[in-house]
Amino acid sequence: MPRQTTSAGPRVEAYIKKAPAFAQPICTRLREIIFRAEPEIIEDWKWGPNYSKNGMVCGFGAFKQHVSLAFFQGAAMKDPKGLFIQEPVAAKNTRRIKLASLADLDEPTLIAYIKEAVALNSMGVKGPDRTIVVPREFRRLLEKKKLKKYFDSLAYTHRKEYVRWIESAKKEETRLARLKKSVQMLSQKIKHA
């Protein structure tokens, strides 16, 4: 079973035991396939069971009617079998496969996908540029209120959400109100989600 694990191994096992009954054998089998595909992969816990080698490779999660296998560099993968689901709102890089039964587990294909994901990490393939263009007026307010350093220290997602919220305002008065509210939230160390 797992060869490279952190202290997350028992947590992953407990997670599988608490998963819906249909999902338990799928998760157990997925775990085996992941280690068969890359024996040196490291099992860890981040939002659920995840696996890394030279960066995050994949992870899985059990839901009410399916198990989701996520590939964190999926956007760069080939997907020759068309297994990645089409999502209206998807992460820029992550691609997922839905598995509703053990019959959905095509072991040779999943092994090939895992090997490709590991190879992409080994080659240093990175996702799209995560640079956030902060509107000039917002940047000036952050500097004036001495909040720029705090804002820059936030995770990418929180910074992106602040900017998206401000820029999505349709009216000027709404944009100005959101600028003011953003500065207020940041001064209170509130992360925008």
Determine phi and psi for 156, rounding to 5 degrees: -45, -50
Report domain extents, the chain. Answer: 4-122, 136-187
Q: H/E element holding 173?
A: helix 172-187
User: Is 4-122 in CATH node 3.30.360.10?
Assistant: no
Q: How far apart are CA 138 and CA 78, in angstroms?
A: 39
User: What are the phi and psi torsion angles at 89 (to 5°)?
Assistant: -125, 105
pLDDT value at position 92?
Answer: 73
Residue with the two structure tokens 């509703």: 100
Cβ–Cβ under 8 Å, residues 39 and 24:
no
Residue type, 138: F
Residues listed for the chain? 193
For residues 110 and 127, give the distance between their C-alpha atoms in angstroms, rounded to a whole number. 21
Ramachandran angles phi, psi of 181, nearest 5°: -65, -40
Q: What pLDDT does residue 2 have? A: 44
The DSSP letter of residue 103 is: G
CA dihedral sign of residues 109, 114, 117, 118: negative
pLDDT per position in the chain (193 positions), as tens?
445 556 788 999 999 999 999 999 999 999 999 999 999 999 999 889 999 999 999 999 999 999 999 999 898 899 999 999 977 555 678 899 999 999 999 999 999 999 999 999 988 776 555 678 888 999 999 999 999 999 988 887 788 889 889 988 889 999 999 999 999 999 999 887 6
Half-sphere exposure of 57 (CA within 13 A, CB side): 28
DSSP annotation of 72 reads T
